[in-house]
Structure 1
């Protein structure tokens, strides 16, 4: 999946780049090293991996503090440390500021943090989680590095990350009249755990600290007091960050209490098992421990049935809004979902379209607080400089997002 670059390449092209630089032979070697990971195998190979979904009912300060390391490696210590302060964040208005969190860790167990651009005149908050691939094994994490920032993400990287500080992410652009979030408070959550922001453990298989879910809990310990007077929070993300919105929603809404939190997911769809193979989900869980963050009230949420999260969120939070943006032939997610095939092979554009429409027709259309905006293309992620002007059937994406924010009658399903 997904975004950012170690050398500040344009955001949202990273995964395509990562696969693009592999020669045909190298890509074949990667696929062979991943081994068979299809639904046909009762015992998926050790190195075939992890990647997406789900959220949990837990107070933010506790969610990060007490999660164990992987069950298969209890002897490996987790060095997540308590943060020195849960005080509100203070920073100059409309200026990007790095906020370190000593207890939040990257995959290499180095500390990380978040970026904020505050606007004291606004009571609305956009929390955005970045994307940038995913990894779950020695091959995907170390040999081919299919996730970004596994070597860490700190203030130095943030200051150099032009995709954030120079309006590469459209929803942060305060100068763009098409941006519905131009005057909101902005929170940027970087991605350096390789686990779609949803891991809970150290993995001896990948050799990485996949603790993205725990990091979100750390950030909430200061974000909640910072925005204690907020009237609205939009919890958003692109690609891996989009997937993470599902998995982290419950801990975010629980933390903010009576302040409404709504979800805006850019290109992070979860599909049913015909397309998102249970064996692949099993490998994700082995590396990241995502089943540990399934909402305790979601009895149908389990490995092999990740898409049950749609129904759970809608019925548990009926007054909250959930939005999914996706192209009908997303070329990047088709690659990652393709790791569930044996041998690994991209989903076809037709299969992706079928899977996406299946979710929309048989799940989301029956849920009163879910809406979709689909685009007839193979583009991956739309929160780019020109992405907000994307149009489907005469409706511009930025206008649809405004309707989502304001909960007007114009917020309807938009599909080609």
Structure 2
């Protein structure tokens, strides 16, 4: 059923937004097993127009793929991009040298020696963030006197065919991201699922609750970044809360997990709300788009902190649920996987 839905959806999209095309690079990536290898990917662009790539760390014995999208803010005009500089790597780009010094590569979630790490036996892919568009855009904008290449989604289209060739036996894809990467994981679910039509694809959004931002921000973001919202996602372009519900309802065989801080100090600022208002809207999102669904769950902690996966092994809810256990249940499709809501 999911394969049919994705086939119909992507048949109706412009060629540039699909994972198909005669000129795509399908060359398998040559990488040392259980070691990080940086790969430059032609056709990708950072905000400054320079090429970027991805990093892979394969486990040849595994049919599971952990695909992680990096976070790092966002920007949509001259002030946010060049005065506040609220998007990481936008002007510097992100190539092999940046990856070699990126602490994320040594995070617990990528540590194969940790016996309780739910991702320890998988093949890993690290997707850097340098486009300012939560991995969702396909546009080039001029802000003031400087140009920004918002090419997050088109970058996904550039490297996906190579991943398919590199991991032909994948049975389960775990698509995750933190902050900007969490929104990117949700926005790119259908692209990834279409590229791996015979595999399960599950999403874990770390600090990426899709509340509708204040004022006209959502329209500004979608327009300036060139984000394509599926036509079948009714009113998602004006009500962001509909998007996670659309995914869960349309793809019942996939699991959609959300990790959220109730008064996230980073997201509330970006979305234009006070901490209290953001908490109210987050709780409304959980009620409207997650509660009552068999394949969508959340792990919510009260507080103003931001992101969880960096402390995957040390976070526990006040109700006694260890985050590591909760994520393991998401991976396994365990019937015990349930909503966690701190009082």
TM-score, length-normalised on structure 1?
0.75
- Residue 321 of structure 2 is matched in structure 1 by 395
Of the candidates 287, 292, 296, which is equivalent to residue 361 of structure 1? 287
Retained in 2: the 8 A contact 1:138–1:207?
no
Between the aligned partners of 1:251 and 1:296, the Cα distance in structure 2 is 14
For structure 2, the 5+ residue unaligned runs are 1-7
Question: What is the count of residue pairs matched by the alignment?
Answer: 327
Retained in 2: the 8 A contact 1:321–1:404?
yes
2:236 is equivalent to residue 284 of structure 1: no
Q: Compute the displacement of 1:156 (Å).
A: 1.5
Of the candidates 257, 265, 268, which is equivalent to residue 331 of structure 1? 265
Retained in 1: the 8 A contact 2:177–2:183?
yes
Q: How does 1:82-161 map to 2 (within 5 A)?
A: 85-150=25-90, 151-161=92-102
Between the aligned partners of 2:41 and 2:14, the Cα distance in structure 1 is 13
- Residue 75 of structure 1 is matched in structure 2 by none
- Residue 297 of structure 1 is matched in structure 2 by 232
SS at match of 1:373: strand
Retained in 2: the 8 A contact 1:114–1:190?
yes
Q: 1:405 to 1:90 in 2, by over 3 A?
A: same
Q: How does 1:142-291 map to 2 (within 5 A)?
A: 142-150=82-90, 151-161=92-102, 163-165=103-105, 167=106, 169-205=107-143, 207-272=147-212, 276-290=213-227
For structure 1, the 5+ residue unaligned runs are 1-55, 67-81, 339-346
Q: 1:371 to 1:305 in 2, by over 3 A?
A: same
Q: Compute the displacement of 1:366 (Å).
A: 2.7
Deviations 1:306-342 (A, max 9, x none): 221122111211111000001112111111012xxxx
Between the aligned partners of 2:340 and 2:16, the Cα distance in structure 1 is 36
CA RMSD of aligned residues (A): 2.0
Between the aligned partners of 2:303 and 2:287, the Cα distance in structure 1 is 19
- Residue 4 of structure 2 is matched in structure 1 by none
Q: Compute the displacement of 1:203 (Å).
A: 0.9
Between the aligned partners of 2:326 and 2:78, the Cα distance in structure 1 is 41
SS at match of 2:341: coil
Retained in 2: the 8 A contact 1:179–1:398?
yes
- Residue 51 of structure 1 is matched in structure 2 by none
Retained in 1: the 8 A contact 2:171–2:198?
no
- Residue 22 of structure 1 is matched in structure 2 by none
Q: Compute the displacement of 1:406 (Å).
A: 0.7
Retained in 2: the 8 A contact 1:57–1:251?
no
Q: 1:258 to 1:351 in 2, by over 3 A?
A: same
Between the aligned partners of 2:44 and 2:235, the Cα distance in structure 1 is 30
Q: How does 1:310-349 map to 2 (within 5 A)?
A: 310-338=244-272, 347-349=273-275
Between the aligned partners of 1:336 and 1:299, the Cα distance in structure 2 is 24
Q: Compute the displacement of 1:377 (Å).
A: 2.2
SS at match of 2:268: helix
Retained in 1: the 8 A contact 2:242–2:289?
no
Between the aligned partners of 1:382 and 1:128, the Cα distance in structure 2 is 13
Q: 1:128 to 1:61 in 2, by over 3 A?
A: farther
Q: Compute the displacement of 1:63 (Å).
A: 3.7
TM-score, length-normalised on structure 2?
0.90
Between the aligned partners of 1:236 and 1:63, the Cα distance in structure 2 is 24
Between the aligned partners of 1:57 and 1:337, the Cα distance in structure 2 is 29
Retained in 2: the 8 A contact 1:196–1:243?
yes
Q: Compute the displacement of 1:179 (Å).
A: 1.6
Between the aligned partners of 1:65 and 1:123, the Cα distance in structure 2 is 24
Of the candidates 330, 335, 340, which is equivalent to residue 404 of structure 1? 330
Q: Compute the displacement of 1:383 (Å).
A: 1.1
